[in-house]
Amino acid sequence: MAQDGYDTLLKQTDSRYRLSIVVARRAAQLKSGMPTLLSDEEMPDAAANTVSVAMEEMRLGKPVVWGEDLPTDAQLREARARERRERTTEVV
């Protein structure tokens, strides 16, 4: 992300450390299967990079969910498997 984008994100936190922690935690959520809050038009060029997606969500002020109400890794894996099965049945 360009320096001006980084500076915008830094203004949303009280330190570079907190910014890196927040972005890393959101990127980990995305990597584990949590869906992004970005529309196709908002998706950064490096969409496969979860850090870029997390930073863009933060820059746009998307309502990221944290806390105890998040699904477990097992629930996310099951949901992804179900989606794959449904896509496979639709194609056949």
Asked if 43 and 92 count as a contact pair (C-beta separation under 8 A), the reply is no
Residue 37 sits in a domain whose CATH number is 3.90.940.10
Q: The domain containing residue 83 runs over which residues?
A: 3-91
% of the chain beyond a pLDDT of 70: 83
Per-residue model confidence as pLDDT tens digits over 40-79:
888 887 667 889 898 888 888 888 766 666 667 777 777 7
State how many domains the chain has.
Answer: 1
% of the chain beyond a pLDDT of 90: 0
Q: What is the pLDDT of residue 33?
A: 80
At 1, is the pLDDT very low, low, confident or very high (cuts 50, 70, 90)? very low
Show the beta-strand stretches assigned E in the chain: none
